[in-house]
Structure 1
């Protein structure tokens, strides 16, 4: 079973948070640039062209090593799309970490990302997290300026509910085109909320009901970070595995063997089978694990309803209500 590069292009995203070395400090060596180059190459070999960043990843070093790869690889920028995020300020001595979607902060952070990435523009800017002090008019002014200057081409959000998106969109002149959320077979609040209406178990899931529906009905792409569940079902044993974890990992392995694909492809295929057309973000910096995701699109297309529900029921550890 093999997915074409053209098909994978539109569905898989490479998440660059693992590039650039430790989170501490601002310095990095050439080995981390080489690691980034290998990860980028592995992603492009399976058809990925959208690369996801944030200004805070590895304290800016993820963007910096990526920029070094762009600078040394002629023509690479024209072959890919870049997405980055702003809105989170990490803790510093004497200053608590906080959110900042003020106009000045957005302009400052985007300009910093462009310098580190060594590019004149990003294809998509995501607002990283909701800021309770956000003024939608300020955001609209900042985004409008960045677009007028050619520094940002499209706008998205991350970790926002449907209501928050609608509130922000009301003041924007450009459409919000993406919402990045944690979504996987393990982190299932996005899915459980759709079937636990009028059910006591709904109290155990805080995902804002209606967010998926809002995004789908408004043409907002759902991007899933943590899509491989940190390897929980594909080889990395969690610290305290549950019976459901063990059963799910066994079922993933069984389906992978039957279909002649990798467990990673099965896990991503399950996510991509959902009619919301979820786009998984792959966060591994390991080229082998990146390559293992190549057949995800084909697995999604071939997965039966019984197989899809079987994986969900195994992961939740009990039947659906």
Structure 2
């Protein structure tokens, strides 16, 4: 498994992150086998959030592997805070309380990375900064980042936050590629030219913030997967063609497409299937040609001006 530096930090992370949002669908034994397989595949970066399963996902994760200091050293743990029922909350009190809950559920003394989950309209950057300072000085969190945030929202936080924001978790897939598409359609009168994210892709590249694509196999907003879907015949035909060339699965190619982008992204996969996990990890060794990358992009229904 190839590794990259997470943002401007010295933390080496695998290019594929393992999302744990659905780990509560597994039995204890199944969860243990899944986590151990991920570690064996060198995909030892596990992404959590305090809202996944109402906190149960973090508990299941820790219990499945009988979390202890020895196994903790073999993994990188990331979690997210800021979503409450009916609201988003980046207050100092909520951030600190949430992290304490995460650490208790994960049975660990620290998080490698903490992300702010979704933008809070009532955010006070000074409160976020105070929370981050306490979490860093206490050793509870080593690195910080955001999720689903625009460049200006990040800049607002950076007005007060002194720690580098090393990651931004954003929805991105072959079929949900607006952050790429609008860059082709500069100053053109079509829907693809509409910039809906304040050029977050370029911003993150300019500021060395690692983009973590979430839902890399989904189209729409959790409408379903595009692989093997009759709604995307041309895309699946092209992906299968490329997969046959490299002697890998279509799953591998879908992740390899994201990894081919020079932004050095770290896709967060959500599968709980061990074979699909292994297929995702194989993407680390596949380097698509320029022709293949563009061919897949166009087959998804995207157009070039």
Question: Normalising by structure 1, what TM-score?
Answer: 0.86
RMSD: 1.9
Report if the CA contact (8 A) 1:53-1:84 is conserved.
Answer: yes
Residues 226 and 268 (structure 1 numbering): CA distance in 2 closer, same or farther, change over 3 Å? same
Q: Which residue of 1 aligns with 2:165?
A: 176
Task: Give the C-alpha shift of residue 261 in structure 1.
Answer: 1.0
Write the deviation string for residues 75-97 of structure 1: whole angstroms up to 9, x where unpaired: 2111001000000013xxxxxx1
Task: Give the C-alpha shift of residue 55 in structure 1.
Answer: 0.1
Match of 1:290 among 244, 254, 277: 277
Write the deviation string for residues 223-278 of structure 1: whole angstroms up to 9, x where unpaired: 0111122773433x3xxx43xx1110111111111111111111111111111111
Q: Which residue of 2 aligns with 1:26?
A: none
Q: Does residue 1:320 correspond to 2:304, yes or no? A: yes
Q: Does residue 1:50 correspond to 2:45, yes or no? A: yes
Counterpart of 2:80 in 1: which secondary structure? Answer: strand
Write the deviation string for residues 16-59 of structure 1: whole angstroms up to 9, x where unpaired: 001113xxxxxxxxx63222212212222322111000000011
Residues 161 and 72 (structure 1 numbering): CA distance in 2 closer, same or farther, change over 3 Å? closer
CA distance in 2 between counterparts of 1:107 and 1:305 reads 45
Report if the CA contact (8 A) 1:255-1:266 is conserved.
Answer: yes
Report if the CA contact (8 A) 2:148-2:169 is conserved.
Answer: yes
Q: Which residue of 1 aligns with 2:134?
A: 145
Task: Give the C-alpha shift of residue 188 in structure 1.
Answer: 0.8
Task: Give the C-alpha shift of residue 192 in structure 1.
Answer: 1.1
Alignment of 1:213-292 (within 5 A): 213-229=202-218, 232-235=225-228, 237=229, 241-242=230-231, 245-292=232-279
Report if the CA contact (8 A) 1:87-1:100 is conserved.
Answer: yes
CA distance in 2 between counterparts of 1:74 and 1:175 reads 27
Q: Which residue of 1 aligns with 2:73?
A: 78
Higher helix share: 1
- Unmatched runs of 5 consecutive residues or more in structure 1: 22-30, 91-96
Counterpart of 2:21 in 1: which secondary structure? Answer: helix
CA distance in 1 between counterparts of 2:2 and 2:195 reads 36
Q: Which residue of 2 aligns with 1:209?
A: 198
CA distance in 1 between counterparts of 2:68 and 2:134 reads 30
CA distance in 2 between counterparts of 1:115 and 1:298 reads 36
